Structure 1
Amino acid sequence: MKRRTFIVSAAGALAGVAGCVLASSPRLHRGAALAFGTTISISVVHDDAQLAARAIADGLHVAQQIDRLMSIYNPASQVYQLNRDGVLAQPDPRLLEVLAQAAELSRISDGAFDVTVQPLWQLFSQAAARGALPDEVERRRAQSLADWRQLEFDADRVRFRRPGMALTLNGLAQGYAADRALAAVQAHGIRDALLDTGEFVARGHKPRRQPWILGVRDPRDPEALAATLYAQGCSVATSGDYECIFTPDYRHHHIFDPALGDSPDELASVTVLAPTSLLADGLSTTFMVMGWERASALASQLPGVDLMAIDKQGRERRSAGFPADA
């Protein structure tokens, strides 16, 4: 789960991992830790440095807990155990919450979002390691295992109805971690914060009432920005075809359309603003699969949701409520 689709363009560089770091302003405090295969960070504004340090530590700890719970790589995670055994008894309530959001996204997108595409990811990853693409027979077999309706869950267990199925929560877990970490920070009475778990959530302001500013990277140039945004009271997530590619032309990458058994071919990146990071995270993947027309139509039906899409030719489009550049 490694996604570096945004840079914090106005907060400066982090001074290290773990713990709390004081920036040049006496009221801006930062901390960072490792989770989701990358560095996550929390910045808060508060007069009390010790309180800020405790809030940051709690937020980072909560995010790391979500990573340990939902990782597809950690044998101790419940998602790993489910993929290994096909069934999971006594699922964690946090896992059930994310699975419920996944099912709702699948429903409203007519299956464009599907956490059970993991067999396709595994197939393409293995083929790419050999310097090839899967053949048609392999691809169709993996595609047949991707069906969100064949995943059942309740408070007692989670179960795949078909042998060989597997799921990934890479399109939701980081957003959920941001939401949970924000709640932990706010429990300390902090109102001004910016959290980066690979997805972003911003509340309040930086010191001197300055807004938090985020930069959206250009999908074809990691050193360039496609947009800069004032981030206040919202969650922001980006999905892009550049995050993990299987072919250098960006045609085959880590996002899969279950209906194709392959990657969607219209968009290079999608940035979503939404009320929660869990929703923003899931919708950014959903909209990549749906393409601009279907995505913008769905976004118009969802309160507080807007998007910016960049296609593979570099053309940019924004929904009516997506903000102009900062």
Structure 2
Amino acid sequence: MERRRFMAASLGTMLGAPAAGASHAPLHHGAALAFGTTVGVSVRHADAGLARLAIRDALASVQSVDRLMSIYDPASEVARLNRDGVLARPDPHLLAVLRHARALSQLTAGAFDITVQPLWQAGAHAASAGRLASSRERAQARALVGWNLVDASPERVVLRKPGMRITLNGLAQGYAADLALRAVRAHGVVHALLDTGEFAATGDAGARPWQLGVPDPRVPGRLAAAVRLDGRCIATSGDYEAVFSPDRLHHHIVDPATGDSPLELASVTVVAPSGIEADGLSTAFMVLGSHSAHALAARLPGVDLLTIDKPGRVRRSPGFPELA
């Protein structure tokens, strides 16, 4: 599973690290490999032993999601589903993510669609050969796309058209952040920041709230915004990570309706009550475009966003928790 790290600040370089001499419990950090890279957990607690247990369980939760939902590990349930077109007795966590995916597809009229994997593969294959996917290649891949052709029940998951494949890269990391947050809270930890590529936080960093930077999608090393984490989760999607063309008009985010990348936005940052919501909505909003994304966010409880279009224009929803 390819990591989508768009937040500029990591656990080791938080904008909101505690001030020196602050009379707060110390920070404890842990990291592990998942989603093809390093994921991290930071907790603030007076009991170092309990902090280590909380970090251990949080990281184990993240790795369990990766093992279930990786499209690259042939032993994962998603890889087996893609290979066989059917999966018996799916894990409850996989079922939960598939149900969320279906609800998000319905909410966004198909702008979010986990069955776009053939379109992504067509674009990536063409890019590796130094070209763009042809209209014929996109048409062939689009014929395999359809979120409503995925049937999921506790007994089995079925892809109803031969050759269909799914990707949960737009949900799995957010879901992993939710499970990691649940794991640290089970140990009584009140203050934690979870980094799975998407971020979840609870409590504070000591002297101030947890804070993260949103990178400028066009200027490496520059921040477009600094965000105060307010108990919600945060995710960013952009056109600048896995690119299929130097002009960034073709990249890893695909509009299921056209078979190609959406043209308006360079990045979308979403804060939402859960990691899986923030993760999925950031992808969906890239496809929907600024006007429709902001209109939909205004109807969703606890959801705010910041959009940056390709010319660099920034738009924030009224409740977006940007630092002054």
Q: In the alignment, what sits opposite 2:129?
A: 130
* 2:269 counterpart (268, 271, 277): 271
Counterpart code for 1:228: A
Counterpart code for 1:294: S
| Distance in 1 between residues matched to 2:316 and 2:13, nearest whole Å | 29
Matched, 1:207 2:210: no
Q: In the alignment, what sits opposite 1:314?
A: 312
* 2:244 counterpart (243, 246, 258): 246
Q: CA deviation at 1:207?
A: 2.0
Query: What whole-Å deviation, never above 9, does each CA across 1:144-183 have from its counterpart, x for those lacking one?
Result: 1111011111111111111110000000000000000110
Counterpart code for 1:212: W
Q: In the alignment, what sits opposite 2:288?
A: 290
2:62 and 2:176 in contact (8 A); partners too: yes
Counterpart code for 2:5: R
Counterpart code for 2:12: G
For structure 1, which runs of at least 5 residues remain unmatched after alignment?
15-22
Matched, 1:164 2:153: no
Q: In the alignment, what sits opposite 2:220?
A: 222
Query: What whole-Å deviation, never above 9, does each CA across 1:177-219 have from its counterpart, x for those lacking one?
Result: 00001101110000100000000011101124x2111000111
Query: What whole-Å deviation, never above 9, does each CA across 1:9-59 have from its counterpart, x for those lacking one?
Result: 7x5349xxxxxxxx9986111111111111111111100001001100110
Q: In the alignment, what sits opposite 1:12?
A: 12
Q: In the alignment, what sits opposite 1:20?
A: none
2:68 and 2:76 in contact (8 A); partners too: yes
Q: Does 190-199 or 127-136 show the bigger shift?
A: 127-136
For structure 2, which runs of at least 5 residues remain unmatched after alignment?
15-19
Identity %: 59
| Distance in 2 between residues matched to 1:171 and 1:205, nearest whole Å | 27
Matched, 1:256 2:254: yes
* 1:233 counterpart (221, 226, 231): 231
Q: CA deviation at 1:107?
A: 0.1
RMSD: 1.5
Q: In the alignment, what sits opposite 2:38?
A: 39
Q: CA deviation at 1:323?
A: 2.5
2:229 and 2:321 in contact (8 A); partners too: no
Q: In the alignment, what sits opposite 2:96?
A: 97
Query: Residue 66 of structure 1: SS of its match in structure 2?
Result: helix
Matched, 1:48 2:37: no
Where do residues 73-88 of structure 1 align in structure 2 (5 Å cutoff)? 73-88=72-87
| Distance in 2 between residues matched to 1:230 and 1:105, nearest whole Å | 26
Matched, 1:72 2:59: no
Q: In the alignment, what sits opposite 1:2?
A: 3
2:307 and 2:316 in contact (8 A); partners too: yes
| Distance in 1 between residues matched to 2:220 and 2:281, nearest whole Å | 22
Counterpart code for 2:306: M
* 2:323 counterpart (317, 322, 325): 325
2:251 and 2:261 in contact (8 A); partners too: yes
Query: Residue 152 of structure 1: SS of its match in structure 2?
Result: strand
Query: Residue 227 of structure 1: SS of its match in structure 2?
Result: strand
Counting matched residue pairs gives 316
Q: CA deviation at 1:222?
A: 2.5
Query: Residue 34 of structure 1: SS of its match in structure 2?
Result: strand
Counterpart code for 1:8: A
| Distance in 2 between residues matched to 1:273 and 1:51, nearest whole Å | 29
Query: Residue 319 of structure 2: SS of its match in structure 1?
Result: coil
| Distance in 1 between residues matched to 2:151 and 2:280, nearest whole Å | 19
Q: In the alignment, what sits opposite 2:17?
A: none
| Distance in 2 between residues matched to 1:191 and 1:211, nearest whole Å | 13
| Distance in 2 between residues matched to 1:131 and 1:253, nearest whole Å | 13
Q: CA deviation at 1:243?
A: 1.5
Q: CA deviation at 1:137?
A: 1.2
**TM-score, L = length of structure 1:** 0.94
**TM-score, L = length of structure 2:** 0.95
| Distance in 1 between residues matched to 2:50 and 2:175, nearest whole Å | 24
